[in-house]
Amino acid sequence: MTARRAAYQVVLRVFEDDAYADRVVRTAAANLDARDRALAQRLAFGTVQRVRTLDHAITTLGKRPVRKLDPPVRAALRLGAYQLGFTDVAVHAAVNETVELVRQARLERAVAFTNAVMRRLSEGIPGLLASLRDDTPTDAALKHSYPDWVAELWWNELGRDDALALMRAQNEPPERVVRVNRRKHGTVEGRPDPDFPDALHVDRVEEAALDAGLIWPQSRGSQLAGLAVGARAGERTLDLCAAPGGKATQLEGEVVAVELHPGRARELEENCRRLGADNVAVVNADATELPPELTGFDRVLVDAPCSGLGVLAGRPDLRWRAHPLPELQTQLLRVAAERVKPGGTILYAVCTINAEENEAVVDASGLKAAPLGDEWPQFSHPRRPEFLLTLPHLHHTSGFFIARLTT
């Protein structure tokens, strides 16, 4: 297994089997050394992110619609085009490896075609990419490889300049940040963050430290949501959508962590054990149909499922499957309002940049917003300062909308 072969498997599985890139890459690259694993992930994730632009280049220069190609040929050409257009991989290496991938797929009849298309791409893709414009949302979606609806949404909500900066930022690798687990003692190397007491910027996530429960990979945007809950010792907090547990294990006091899916609930329990979070009790249940005794909480965290438009840098296939979930989010906020005690607080957080799932859901809930922007002015929402909004192109972390609410 080589890094390119592993990347090819990821691209093939994502687009032909609807698999998740982050899960496939763990399996496909499992037997590679650290350097080749990193290369495989970079090539796979970049190809998946840029696939709309790559397909345009392959169709234009290869003179055959991508949809008509055999799946292995399609995956190999996408990976090869990404290397030619967006990396410094040598041309001959990209061409030869792409042809070899098709040959290994036992498609000898497509080898000559693949070689010819890669030669055309090697000559034409720099000029083709340079010619793409981004004056309109539709043009920008093609140039930066996003669905039209996402480009139009950000254009309308943020304006052209911020929308383009956000598109560019989420085509780059995400920040590499871990949260130091204060429940355990050990040495972890990294650069402290000025805004978050437990955040460390690291060159790589050390597997030994992760296995020992000394750290948890968690973006600063996600850590901000956990901190904003404000849970203290002696309080009871309900986390309605808890897996995999990053925020639940940040919280002090008694925590009831709810997870719908049995497999994810087991993963959540294991993560809590590894991190020594014995204050967290996991409940495998539907958050919209909780047992009646789960009530009277001081705080409720609603880290709701969403379109995920703030975490596209780390989840490359999400842009192609994302859709807003305001109805579910509204339902979860209603549950939170029923389960929090009078005078308690609800923390609503979603990792998306979409007013329909953010401020519109809060406004429709009838809950009162506490002025979070006063506590964290550097992350204050640009239009609604009572809320927080982290933006990847401005704050260099994942995008999170955060609101603290009362009944």
Classify residue 340 as exposed, middle or buried by CB count within 10 Å of its CB (0-12, 13-18, 19+): buried
The one-letter code for the residue type at 403 is A
Distance of CA 352 to the CA centre of its chain: 9
Count of Cβ atoms closer than 10 Å to residue 150 Cβ: 24
Q: What is the DSSP string of 357-404?
A: TTHHHHHHHTPEEE-HHHH-GGGB-SS-TTSEE--HHHHSS---EEEE
- Per the structure block, which two tokens stand in for 395? 């704050």
Q: Which residues pair with 282 in a beta bridge?
A: 257
Q: How many residues does this entry show for the chain?
A: 407
In a 3-state reduction of DSSP, which class is residue 236? strand
Structure-token match 């990209």, residue found: 94
Cα(226)–Cα(218) distance, rounded to whole angstroms? 10
In a 3-state reduction of DSSP, which class is residue 127? helix
Q: Which candidate in 241, 272, 306, 351 is catalytic?
A: 351
Q: Where are the beta strands (DSSP E) in 44-195?
A: 177-180, 191-192
In a 3-state reduction of DSSP, which class is residue 145? coil
Going by C-beta distance under 8 Å and a sequence separation of 6 or more, which residues neighbour residue 400? 221, 222, 224, 225, 310, 349, 350, 351, 388, 389, 390
- Per the structure block, which two tokens stand in for 258? 């709810």
Cα(179)–Cα(218) distance, rounded to whole angstroms? 6
DSSP assignment, residue 287? G
- Give percent helix, percent strand, percent coil of the chain, each to the nearest 5: 50, 15, 35
Residue 351 known to be catalytic: yes
Enumerate the active-site residues.
Answer: 351
